[in-house]
Amino acid sequence: MTTDLISSLETIVGSRFVSGAAEERYLYSMDQGTMPPSEPDAVVLPATTDQVRQIVLLANERKVPVVPMGAGLVLSGLTRALRGGIIVDMKRMNRIIEVNPASRYAVVEGGASQGMLKAYLQKHHPELKHSMPDAPPVATVAGNVCIHGSGHLSVLGGSHSDMLTGMEVVLPSGEIVRTGSCGVSGQWFSRSPLPDLSGLFLGWAGTTGIITRLGIKLFPNYRHNDVLIFVAEDADLMPEMISRLTSVQAAEDMTPWMTPKPDWARGFLHINIAYGAHTKKELTFKRNLLQSSVREYIDRKIAGFLPLPPPQKGRFLKIPSPDLARFADLRRGGGFEYVGAIMAIEHFPKAYRAGLAIAEKHGVAYSLGARIIGAGHCMMFFFAYAFNRADPEDVKRASDALEATNTAALEIGGIPWKAELPAQKQIIEKMDPDTFGLMGRIRSVLDPNHIMNPGNWEK
């Protein structure tokens, strides 16, 4: 059956772009996170929307699972083939199709990476940029939008799914749909004013279709960029501080962080605030706005901005930021996972304390932090744990800590982001049954043979 499947796939994409070899299946069976491996039967790399369509039709005919995959960097095991089948690796579909500078959007293929889009814009449209996540640059734009990712312009533009302007999607049944303005006008400027079908593919962990193209908002790329680091000692004041800093609407990105390493940082709460401007004067004006928003705390001497001479700022202005990747290798052995939970800003103190308590109880190396989404509309609070993949006990400790964190996040009122399988089940438990029922009915309509990334979002 597998040999037959592979030769059928070869007919679609050519033999170089299909593999059922043991070593390939092994590599594609896992990501860097704590989820146990699960092997696909085959891996295929399509080059066109039509090839994707043919693969999906074939899978339907054979009742074989299909798992869409970008760079496989989600860390929560969402691109593992839980029930075997075909992993559709989108990396060959990596073209930047269009950039519209007037309406500030780009259209890219479903496998285009963050790094490629960034490089393309730098070369052809240096006046524009897109919101980069801190993931390694090989992460795909589509994979990140799919999971409601966030990045360096998230205070300005919200989560990356908010920046989506439309999609071309191959449905599990093989039809090709276009959501947003591109479905009507041929241009990719907006998801409004139509019924917003994009939501059928966002947050579903690849269970509703394969995105082959998408439009994404672009923003001004400033000549002058700066970062401030605000430091405070009282977690209870963080929501108000965040609220004030975002209220002046000067920042592009705001990322609180709390780590026990280096030693000097232990116990303090920091907020990196990145902002940019066309001129130095405008940059100073924005800095003054940000600083005056929290002047009251400064005058009370309970919080302030760290003095950073210009040469020290470079590291904090790097996009993507190398800091999380550096932390990822803290224990050596390349194991790293974080629970990100989307939650309301006012839960910051509770989330912080829960993170500290869990790290201490489970004896894991931790890094806590958040990314503010929108003008203080919500945040992605993350609890990161580094572990040594070669040490089963270390893996167990980290995965216990993650489970406890998911539970704590849900108790606080947050929702685990890009939830791994056990967390999905925890969310479903808390979700009201009618809503979960609707999710099931939508899936049955879109995917009657239940071939798309099965095992996810199921009870």
Partner 1 sequence: MQPIQYNPDLCIHCETVDCLMKCQYISFTGTEEAKTEKLKINGGEESRVLRECLTCYACQEYCPFDNNPFYLLVERQEALGILPAPRPVVEEQLRMMAPKGRITPQAVSGVVVDMCAFPMLTGCIRGKLFEGATTIVGTDIFCNIMWLHFAKNSTIRERVPRIIDNIMHFYLKDSNIRELICFHDECYGTYTSVADAYGIDVPFTPVHQFDYISGRLNELQDRIKPLNVKIAYQRPCSNRLVPHTDKALDEIFEKIGAERVPRTYDRETALCCGGVPRAHQRDELADELVEKNIDDMIRTGATYCVFNCPFCMATLAHEVAERGLMPILVSDLVQIALGE
Tokens at 163, concatenated: 């920046």
Q: Using CB under 8 A, which residues numbered 213 to 242 contact partner 1? A: 231-233
With CB under 5 to 8 Å by kind, the binding choice for 146 among partner 1, ligand FAD, none is: ligand FAD
Q: Which CB atom, from 8 or from 367, has the smaller least distance to ligand FAD?
A: 367
Question: Between residues 201 and 257, which has the closer beta carbon with respect to partner 1?
Answer: 257
Tokens 């907006």, residue located: 190
Name the residue nearer to partner 1 (CB basis): 18 or 271: 271
Give CA–CA dist 364/367, Å, rounded.
Answer: 10
Residue 62: name the closest of 14, 7, 18 by CA.
7
Based on the shown chain and the rule CB under 6 A, indicate whether residue 205 belongs to the binding site for ligand FAD.
yes
If one asks whether residue 367 binds ligand FAD (CB under 6 A), the answer comes out as no
- Looking at this protein, which amino acid is placed at residue 243? S
| Residues numbered 309-368 forming contacts with partner 1, rule: CB under 8 A | 309-312
- Cβ proximity to partner 1: between 185 and 292 the closer is 292
Nearer residue to partner 1 within complex by CB, 88 or 269: 269
Q: Does residue 287 touch partner 1 according to CB under 8 A?
A: yes
Contact present, 12 and 54 (Cβ < 8 Å)? yes
Q: Which is nearer to ligand FAD, 179 or 453 (CB)?
A: 453
Which of the stretches 158-166, 197-205, 294-302, 425-433 binds partner 1 when contact is defined by CB under 8 A?
294-302
CA–CA separation, 67 vs 447, rounded Å? Answer: 13
Return all residues near 241 (Cβ < 8 A) that are at least 6 apart: 230, 232, 271, 294, 297, 303
Q: Decide whether 119 or 306 has the Cβ nearer to partner 1.
A: 306
- Least spacing, CB of residue 266 vs partner 1, in Å: 8
* DSSP letter, residue 322: S
Does position 372 bind ligand FAD by CB under 6 A?
Answer: no
Q: Does 296 bind partner 1 (CB under 8 A)?
A: no
Stretch that binds partner 1, among 1-9, 105-113, 283-291, 384-392 (CB under 8 A): 283-291
Which of 204, 257, 297, 417 touches partner 1 by CB under 8 A?
297
Helix H or strand E segment including 357: helix 348-362
Q: Is 276 in the site for ligand FAD (CB under 6 A)?
A: no
Question: Per CB under 8 A, does 260 bind partner 1?
Answer: no
Q: Does 147 bind ligand FAD (CB under 6 A)?
A: yes
CA distance 35 to 334: 14
Instruction: Return the one option of partner 1, ligand FAD, none that residue 431 interacts with (CB less than 5 to 8 A, by type).
Output: none
Strands 42-44, 86-89: parallel, antiparallel or unpaired by DSSP? parallel
Concatenated DSSP letters for 278-320?
SSHHHHHHHHHHHHHHTHHHHHTTSEEEPP--HHHHHHHH-SS
Residue 279 touches partner 1, criterion: CB under 8 A: no
Rule CB under 8 A: choose which of 44, 303, 404, 410 binds partner 1: 303
Q: Looking at 96, 176, 197, 265, which residue binds partner 1 (CB under 8 A)?
A: 265
Nearest to 301 by CA among 247, 248, 244, 231: 231
- Judged by CB under 6 A, which of 40, 65, 72, 166 binds ligand FAD? 72
Tell me, by CB under 8 A, how many residues bind partner 1. Answer: 25
16-24, 158-166, 244-252, 305-313 -> range binding partner 1 (CB under 8 A): 305-313
Contact 348, 238 (CB under 8 A): yes
Verify binding: residue 278, partner 1, rule CB under 8 A.
no
Residues in the chain: 459
CA angle 405, 408, 413 (to 5 degrees): 125
Give CA torsion, residues 207, 457, 142, 372, to 10 deg: 160
Could you please report the per-residue DSSP string of 19-80?
E--HHHHHHTT--SSSSPP---SEEE---SHHHHHHHHHHHHHHT--EEEESSS--SSSTTS
Q: Name the residue nearer to partner 1 (CB basis): 165 or 272.
A: 272
Question: Where does this chain bind ligand FAD (CB under 6 A)?
Answer: 67-75, 78-79, 90, 110, 133-135, 139-140, 142-144, 146-147, 149-151, 205-206, 210-211, 324-325, 328, 453
